[in-house]
Amino acid sequence: MILEGKRILITGGTGSLGKVLVRRLISGELGKPKQIVVFSRDEAKQHFMRLEYLKRQSATDDVIYRNFQELLTFRIGDVRDFHSVSAVVRNADVIFNAAALKQVPTCEYFPFEAVHTNIAGPENIIRAIREHNLPVETVIGISTDKACKPVNVMGMTKAIQERVFIRANLDCSDTRFICVRYGNVLASRGSVIPLFHDQIRSGGPVTITTEDMTRFLLSLDQAVDTIFAALRNARPGETYVPKVPSAKVTDIVDVLIGDRPIKKIITGIRPGEKIHEILVSEEEANRTIDKGAYYAILSILPELKADTLEKSTIGKEFSSSDNLMTKEEVKALFIRHKLMVEDNLTYEDELLR
């Protein structure tokens, strides 16, 4: 079991992905870790996540006092600060870097803040390992489809994050640096589905940027599956991509609205948006191999390439405009993941069902 007895660090671990990742790690499906450290700068999110883990309704002093003795430990810090990163990285065997500025409009208006978090943050992790000669076994960078042929700041900074981590294999030969890249996560607060839920409950209208837009769709558990597949099998410098379906945004809206008398409004594409997302570009396709439920993008650096390819490359880009689901398939997917709108529930209630 690859994580048996390991010390695990999750940066940005209080987000939607972090919570599911922690649940899956605690379950022991990859072995029982010695400790899991959630590292983030939001004390309120840490507080509520800690109470949830301890199954407490309210906090008492002992919740904090025994923090560092628990399997799941919380540490305040920021990936943008080298000193706090150094302090927490020195005790890790495996690092999942989920810390990010990921809202597209926010990154457009504050681009250098995105640079600090999405690029300098990963570099701080690498620098701490390199300068302190730390025995970290694996670092996994969490990326996004927006990093592929990026047109917005979020995607641009995530694309650089991928290259920063891949390049780190040349400096820290005892540490394996790998990445995963995936699209819209169905139950994430950062996805468009919560917006559609709120608009539908308010009686509409539902806003759609363009009728042609398509998006990849996967669940949080599928995102964690991808991370675990990379952890098990990826070689240094590889990026794992899940083979997930996609759908037209108009079909998503129609499924969520159902029979409700709610109008749809086309607002026009927003700054930094693509009509179609891409998980593997045409350039990357020539160094991408099939791994069953995943694609593995091999490193662009010749020093990290295998002598021979295990299999032929996929040869063409992987776009959200390919293999679109029907409305019936979208509805079945949403019912399976309990994402249909129920008027008497909040979005948070639906996620807890």
d(CA 142, CA 97): 6
Q: Is residue 98 a contact partner of residue 142, using CB atoms and an 8 Å limit? A: yes
Tokens of 173: 């030969």
User: CA-to-CA distance for 47 and 28, rounded, in angstroms?
Assistant: 24
CB of 130 closer than 8 Å to CB of 164: no
Give yes or no for a cis peptide into 205 (omega within 30° of 0).
yes
> Interior CA angle at 152 toward 77 and 325, to 5°?
100
> Do residues 264 and 210 lie in contact, with contact meaning Cβ atoms separated by under 8 Å?
no
Residues 255/51, Cβ–Cβ less than 8 Å: no
Pairing of strands 94-97, 7-11: parallel
Determine the Cα–Cα distance for residues 341 and 333; give it in Å rounded to an integer: 13
Separation of alpha carbons 164 and 201, rounded Å:
43
Structural element, H or E, at residue 257 = helix 249-257
- Strand pairing partners for 324? 246
Distance of CA 265 to the CA centre of its chain: 30
Residue type, 61: D
Which residue type does 289 have? I
45 is catalytic: no
How many angstroms separate the CA atoms of 338 and 71, rounded?
A: 30
Given 6, 19, 45, 146, which residue is catalytic?
146
- Could you write out the DSSP letters of every residue in 137-153? -EEEEEEEGGGSS--SH
Distance between CA atoms of residues 188 and 294, nearest Å: 21
By annotation, the residues acting in catalysis are 146
